[in-house]
Structure 1
């Protein structure tokens, strides 16, 4: 084996492969929300029970991430990614076969176990291979997967669900995931997780010692808090958008794919532009601008009365662009906050923090929101105000996080593909 530097073509292939993997995890998680009306009918769910469905994924992902952080630095990145991704694909298949709400809840927890760890591994690979000066653009490329999931994955999953039933969405995820796993096995480089001496030293140290150092490092704690604020400010609102639009705004359920199509098309272009902007003008500055602008669509979406289709598409698109767009510079800030030699454990723990924030937000909003006999949601406006407040706190808090690295610290190891 020999140490090499990724050329631009291989770097693009790596980022596109990571984006494809992220695409399937995004569709798997995002499609739950527009399927809410179907789940409510099939399983007779209350708003609180639907919140549990979201929380099962997020809390399982958080627990798995914390457990993985204990040992993740011991594994080569590519092998780890493939092993976890195969587990995720299996979880999607189990979800598709669920026959009851309790079985569906269990399946979503299983998906969370693997999906949560995947997120941390993907951003660890970005941090290991991409210099800090270009990390905003790299993050933007990978996060366009959410836009593609929104514009293509979720609408296609909904069309399949409308044509067959809700299970078709997760069958699609499982098939796409199996194909992506094969592509990743063929194309991703093997990424060393340190020199032989560093690996040996890590294995000699007590497992809990490394974990505690990563968990309690001051800059990590500040980054974890920032991540928590970002997730709470989004996931107080996101899980109930589809229900609110169909029940309060008056959008026909058959037109929900249009909302995701419009938002996804816009986000596909803006996510990469936000990444370039962050690299040019500073990730914290750009995060603050996008987050500040996002307060407006947060409040408008949660207070909107009955609207025509054009008005609904306009506010939903603004929400998608700015609420998801602030994650591009935000995650670039977080990726560069890692203590040298501990990025994988840090990013996995940060992934757990994302899931904890999402789960707490979904649970809290589920407890606040009530569903009237007419089906309309009550108190969604309260949720919007809390999300806006969390956003404003995050705008201030991002300035407390230090950038601790400016270049990748791990060599790329090339081996013949067998």
Structure 2
């Protein structure tokens, strides 16, 4: 895999040379903070599932649709953004979209009905749908491939922090206030991080020269004609589909079938998130040292076990459930660190923004379809217990193994 690496200059190379190690670290921390709020905005929906289904009197499938609406909207946003993303300076575009995302998240917190919450979630998806793609594009523009595994590990620590701190805190606030409050808090934090982003993120416009004079759709056509790009898109789709066949319904299953108390749910996210704070850094460093593909193969294969066990954990004591859920968080999220380093390096650097937004659309579509499929697969028996959750694990394992096969065929650029 490393032998196939092509040394293609990145449009962000000039900006990268201007960054001191301290400035680079601050950049990664701010990007991780932006990613944190974006991910938390999505992840907070899942542990709030029981509260939302009760508050609005909706079925599990309707809750799944609420989750899917955000991701489908985000996917559409990525498709639209692929037309213009490489035609604007990176920092300005990221922060404008981020502020609009904050406004939509505030609307979620103020939503009085299921329908208004659905509309606000769609708006949040439209503006927030390409934030991850923008962040990964900036990292790929600024950080050399040899150090990108560690950089991705820092940025993706946001997933862990959103789990270990954000989700339990959001649930605590919701329990002592109402479900509206976490969204309002996320919106406020987003505004503060946008100010920090303006101060820390460098101006990145090297890609503009490479796209000067090109037509709006020419970049998209160039990206989708590249078979290596298509393999990377398929890989991303399968990686995300594998995780989100299970993730949206973990809280509902744990409370309904496994007997975990509402007050104990934050403990699952606290322990799992704390473990991933450590594992994300380790996996990132090992990816740089041993090779992204090799580490991905090991982590993805180990992830198969908790994918199956988490859907069969009913009847276990709390400590057993915590072991399984922690392994799930560590290895299922851990796959994404070497995986996204590979994907970011699969792009032609001149069209990296377009590539990453199209990739984000694929990931959003995978999230939405997986959540929708999961909602259709599971059902309730007459006693109200979740049935057929184990089928979701088989679907997840199948897509996880398919992703591994696709990863071996991806060529990387510097």
- Give the alignment's TM-score, normalised by structure 2: 0.95
* CA deviation after TM superposition for structure 1 residue 377, in Å: 0.8
Q: CA RMSD in A?
A: 1.2
Aligned match for 2:347, one of 320, 338, 341 = 338
- Whether contact under 8 Å (2:87, 2:208) holds in the other structure is no
Would you say 1:51 and 2:60 are equivalent positions?
A: no
Does residue 265 of the first structure (1) align with residue 274 of the second (2)? yes
1:62-101 to 2 correspondence within 5 Å? 62-101=75-114
Cα distance, 1:395 vs structure 2:
1.5
* Deviation, structure 1 residue 373: 4.1
Matched, 1:18 2:31: yes
Quote the offset at 1:309 in angstroms: 1.4
Matches within 5 A, 1:319-398: 319-398=328-407
Structure 1 Cα separation of the partners of residues 312 and 167 of structure 2: 25
Q: What TM-score do the two structures reach when normalised by structure 1? A: 0.94
Given candidates 200, 203, 217, the residue that maps to 1:208 is 217
Contact persistence 1:250–1:307 (CA under 8 A):
no
Determine which of 300, 310, 317 is the counterpart of 2:326. 317
Residue correspondence of structure 1 range 120-159 to structure 2 within 5 A:
120-159=133-172
Distance 2:382 2:266 in 1: 26
Given that residues 89 and 208 in structure 2 are in contact (C-alpha distance below 8 angstroms), is that contact kept between their aligned partners in structure 1?
A: no
Q: Compute the displacement of 1:371 (Å).
A: 2.2
2:52 to 33, 36, 39: 39
Q: Which residue of 2 aligns with 1:415?
A: none
Q: Cα distance, 1:99 vs. partner?
A: 1.1
Q: How does 1:95-110 map to 2 (within 5 A)?
A: 95-110=108-123
| 8 Å contact from structure 1 (residues 266, 317) kept in 2 | yes
Q: Which runs of 5+ in 2 are unaligned?
A: 1-13
Q: Residues 391-410 of structure 1 correspond to what in structure 2 (within 5 A)? A: 391-404=400-413, 406=414
Q: Provide the C-alpha distance between the structure 2 equivalents of 1:277 and 1:375, rounded to a whole number of angstroms.
A: 44
Partner of 1:409: none
Query: What residue in structure 2 maps to residue 413 of structure 1?
Result: none
- Kindly report which structure 2 residues correspond to 1:239-254, keeping only aligned pairs within 5 A, or say none: 239-254=248-263
Asked if 1:188 is matched to 2:201, the reply is: yes
Instruction: Give the Cα separation in 2 of the matches to 1:15 and 1:45.
Output: 40
State the aligned residue count.
Answer: 400
Q: 2:93, 2:170 → 1: CA distance?
A: 28
- Aligned equivalents of 1:366 and 1:239: distance in 2? 9
CA change 1:178–1:394 in 2 (3 A) is same
